[in-house]
Amino acid sequence: MNFNTKSNRKKLAKSLFSVHRTRYDLLPFYSRLVAILEPCMPELASDLVHSLKSDFKWHVRKKDQINIETKLKIVRFMGELVKFKVCPKIEALQCLKMLLFDFRHHNIEMACAMLETCGRYLYRSPDSHYRTKIYLEVMMRKRSAMTLEARYETMIENAFYYSNPPEVQATVRKERPPMHEYIRKLLYKDLSKVTVEKVLRQMRKLKWDDPEIAFYATKCLTAVWNIKYNSIHCAANLLAGIAPFHEHVAIQVVDGVLEDIRLGMEINDSKYNQRRVSCVKYLGELYNYRMVESGVIFKTLYSLITFGVSLDEKAPVYMDPPEHLFRIRLVCVLLETCGQFFDRGSSKKKLDCFLLYFQRYYLFKHSLPIFNAEGRPFPMDVENLMQETLELVRPRLTMFKTYQEACEAATQLETEYRAKIANLFHMVETEAQEEEEDEDDEEEEGLATIAEGEEGEEEGLSGGVTTEGSGTQESESSLEGVDADADEHEGGEDSFTDEYGDSDEEGDEGDEEVKVLKPKVAVCKEDEDFMSAFDQMMNDTIQARTQESLKVPQLDIAVPTQIKNKVKKLGLPGQNAGDKEEDKDKEKDGTSSLRFMLMTRKGNKQQLTDFEIPMTAEFATKFKEREEAEKLEKEKMKQMVLNFHERQEEEEYQETLASLNRTAPTNVNRERKVKYQHPKGAPDADAIFGNKKR
């Protein structure tokens, strides 16, 4: 209020009008400021509108094709002022009419910018609707009648449909209870790597005794496709924290995930692809957090390559058509998530067997006639994904090259295991016969046998000796099976036990496995502060790196000096004349090829391999084209340097000739000046100071 003077108001209007031409983001705030100050400073708004209108008319009448950013700033500023009712609507419509009268070049961009800023406001206002509708129709008719660039046509369509969007049926938002909205907010918005503990505490506070809330929370935990893909492991961690308190929730979530994976294989609709990937990723993370056993993972893996799959080209199945490769991606996602933990014990042998059948399925897809090199090549991303997955789980594994090799390996493996199973069945039958004979002997002995059995039971209770009856053996075998499954997950297949436990690499059944639990970390306030500061620092670093422009120079690797003689023989830069003539003869015969030397490293030693690539290959063609382009560019640069050098020499020569022909200027006043004559000898003191007697 102290600075509300006439001069200061003019300075403020000038400052607002002089906003930078590229700062479109400031225009709405400047307009809001003018609208707020208008009641107490009415001349501020009028001066600003007058300046904008005068500048607009000057640019339109000048008809030059420069200063497009300034023109767009003016029309956008006017549009923002119109929406705040600072600039009259009639002024904006008059400006739009002037632009439509000469609808070309910069006028098209200015008209579209104005419509994108305030077109919808003018179209929806009752007092300006009719006139705006007419101007929009005129603009679309001019677009149809004129031959414009594709860029201008797109701008006109965007401006028209922004001002007058097509009528669509409004989507009805589903109304949910507040508790349901809160659960969705916790799981789908707040859940992240940093907030897992906070979300877990809030989820444990829910009324799990209420069937409705428990059902909806379980449903949201199962619908993992609504969670961000990078936060799926957080959902598995959250479920692992809830499971010790509500075991039925974990069971229902795991059942729901497995059912959704099976349903996706039965439906096989592309719109559910992201949902299927999320479910498979979720299942792998649940194994990592010890929520499922390894048997569930292997059953899912085998289901993906066997359920509804036909290995006969003539009998395709709708569940897995020949052109569909999505199941390969699902298997790779599951192996990338938890496959690295199957590296010891019985799980290692199971994964090796599965990888054999997986390669057979992949090579069958690769060998189908629908994928050929001419019409529709096999997708390169699927090949790279397959190689990366196998390198991750089995770095030393050698892939089969053909489908026949994979089939032969699978047949050999099945034959080997059939023999083992047959021997196992024979042993089981022999043991059963022996048990039947023992039972017959016991029946013949009568009461004496019963007395011996009672004594044996007493001995088993006192000294640890147990009988070998059929019922006791069945109970012991069932308990051993449960313990074996639990120990298998705890000792050989879990990520934590693999890292800290001492299990045999071959997975002998007789060895004892030691389980070392990971110590629990007590989270304190200082840790949370440190993590928040660390995340902030990482985000700042990532943003700073994204703003830098990194340009990787495409330079060839310098050839080592110790192999220059070999390089000359291979035909690389520096080859002799005989090799060049031989290459020219090959080019005439049509059998030319490109010679390369491949440098690899094995340990600390470099290995060099030379090979030839036919010129018909795409790589060789691209390489030759790049060499020719570089050669032309060098020649062009060389010619430019020579021309510049010649022009510079010519200018120096002309300047030398001009300096020789130019006469030096003479100073005519130099001789008129009287030279000072310095007195010789000692100075006369009487002449300077006068005679003392006088």
Query: Is pLDDT above 50 for 258?
Result: yes
| The 3-state secondary structure of 424-486, one letter per residue | HHHHHHHHHHHHHHHHHHHHHHCHHHHHHHHHHHHHHHHHCCCCCCHHHHHHHHHHHHHHHHH
- Asked whether the beta carbons of 191 and 231 are under 8 A apart, the reply is yes
Whole-number pLDDT of residue 222: 96
Segment 598-652, tens digit of pLDDT? 778 777 777 777 777 787 777 788 888 888 899 999 999 999 999 999 999 998 8
Separation of alpha carbons 112 and 152, rounded Å: 9
Separation of alpha carbons 593 and 623, rounded Å: 12
Between residues 618 and 535, the one the model is more confident about: 535
pLDDT confidence of 331, banded at 50, 70, 90? very high
Tokens at residue 56, please? 């607009």
- Asked whether the beta carbons of 16 and 30 are under 8 A apart, the reply is yes
Residue 690 DSSP SS3: coil
Residue of 623, 597, 628, 594 lying closest to 610 (CA atoms): 597
pLDDT confidence of 558, banded at 50, 70, 90? low
- Asked whether the beta carbons of 493 and 345 are under 8 A apart, the reply is yes
Whole-number pLDDT of residue 34: 92
- Could you count the other beta carbons within 10 Å of the beta carbon of residue 184? 17
Whole-number pLDDT of residue 73: 93
Whole-number pLDDT of residue 522: 74
Query: Is pLDDT above 70 for 282?
Result: yes
Query: Is pLDDT above 80 for 582?
Result: no
Tokens at residue 640, please? 């430019």
Identify the weakest region by mean pLDDT among 76-90, 95-109, 144-158, 161-175. 161-175
Between residues 677 and 574, the one the model is more confident about: 677
Span 466-476, average pLDDT: 38
Residue of 515, 494, 500 lying closest to 288 (CA atoms): 494
Residues in the chain, overall count = 694
Span 84-93, average pLDDT: 91
Separation of alpha carbons 280 and 286, rounded Å: 10
Residue of 662, 575, 578 lying closest to 610 (CA atoms): 575
In what helix (H) or strand (E) does residue 109 lie, and over which residues does it extend? helix 106-124
Whole-number pLDDT of residue 609: 79
Whole-number pLDDT of residue 64: 85
Return the C-alpha torsion angle 631, 634, 640, 644, nearest 10: -150
Tokens at residue 72, please? 């767009």
Between residues 49 and 559, the one the model is more confident about: 49
Identify the weakest region by mean pLDDT among 262-266, 552-556, 606-610, 650-654. 552-556
Whole-number pLDDT of residue 565: 60
Tokens at residue 114, please? 């104005």
Q: For the chain, what percentages of helix, strand and coil (3-state, to nearest 5) are there? A: 65, 5, 30
Whole-number pLDDT of residue 63: 84
Segment 140-169, tens digit of pLDDT? 998 888 888 888 889 999 999 889 888 877
Query: Is pLDDT above 90 for 524?
Result: no
Query: Is pLDDT above 70 for 492?
Result: no
Long-range contacts of 28-32 (CB under 8 A, 24+ apart): 28/80, 30/77, 30/80, 31/77, 31/80, 31/81, 31/83, 31/84, 31/86, 32/84
Span 663-668, average pLDDT: 58
Q: What's the number of CA atoms in the CB half-sphere (13 Å) around residue 145? A: 8
Whole-number pLDDT of residue 578: 45
- Could you count the other beta carbons within 10 Å of the beta carbon of residue 333? 20
Separation of alpha carbons 296 and 490, rounded Å: 15
Between residues 346 and 505, the one the model is more confident about: 346
**Percent of the chain residues topping a pLDDT of 70:** 77
Identify the weakest region by mean pLDDT among 312-316, 487-491, 649-653. 487-491
pLDDT confidence of 554, banded at 50, 70, 90? low
Name residues whose C-beta falls within 8 Å of residue 588's C-beta, 6 or more positions apart in sequence: none
- Asked whether the beta carbons of 164 and 144 are under 8 A apart, the reply is no
Compute φ and ψ for 392, nearest 5 degrees. Answer: -75, -45
Beta bridge partners of 611: 596
CA triplet 30, 34, 40: central angle to 5 degrees? 155
Whole-number pLDDT of residue 374: 62
Query: Is pLDDT above 50 for 477?
Result: no
Q: Is 435 exposed, middle or buried (0-12, 13-18, 19+ CB in 10 A)?
A: middle
Whole-number pLDDT of residue 540: 86
Q: For the chain, state the CA radius of gyration.
A: 44
Residue 376 DSSP SS3: coil
- Asked whether the beta carbons of 403 and 364 are under 8 A apart, the reply is yes
How far is the first Cα of the chain from the last one, in angstroms, to the nearest whole number? 86
Query: Is pLDDT above 60 for 134?
Result: yes
Residue of 362, 431, 442 lying closest to 403 (CA atoms): 362
pLDDT confidence of 342, banded at 50, 70, 90? very high
Name residue, tokens 């189908």: 368
Beta bridge partners of 610: 597
Whole-number pLDDT of residue 65: 82
Beta bridge partners of 594: 613
Q: Which of 48-62, 162-176, 474-488 has the highest mean pLDDT?
A: 48-62
Whole-number pLDDT of residue 246: 94
Span 481-486, average pLDDT: 41
Segment 419-467, tens digit of pLDDT? 888 888 877 777 777 777 666 665 554 434 433 444 343 333 333 333 3
Separation of alpha carbons 187 and 394, rounded Å: 35
- Asked whether the beta carbons of 624 and 615 are under 8 A apart, the reply is yes
Compute φ and ψ for 573, nearest 5 degrees. Answer: -50, 125
For residues 78-100, b (16+ Cβ closer than 10 Å) or e, as one string? bbbbbbbebbebebbbebbebbb
Name residues whose C-beta falls within 8 Å of residue 638's C-beta, 6 or more positions apart in sequence: none
Segment 405-416, tens digit of pLDDT? 999 999 999 999
Between residues 683 and 191, the one the model is more confident about: 191
In what helix (H) or strand (E) does residue 172 lie, and over which residues does it extend? none
DSSP line for 180-203: HHHHHHIIIII-SSSSHHHHHHHH
Whole-number pLDDT of residue 299: 96
pLDDT confidence of 475, banded at 50, 70, 90? very low
- Asked whether the beta carbons of 367 and 313 are under 8 A apart, the reply is no
CA triplet 306, 307, 310: central angle to 5 degrees? 65
- Asked whether the beta carbons of 224 and 280 are under 8 A apart, the reply is no
Whole-number pLDDT of residue 364: 94
Q: Taking all residues of the chain, what is their mean pLDDT, rounded to a whole number?
A: 81
Cα torsion 372, 376, 377, 379: sign:
negative
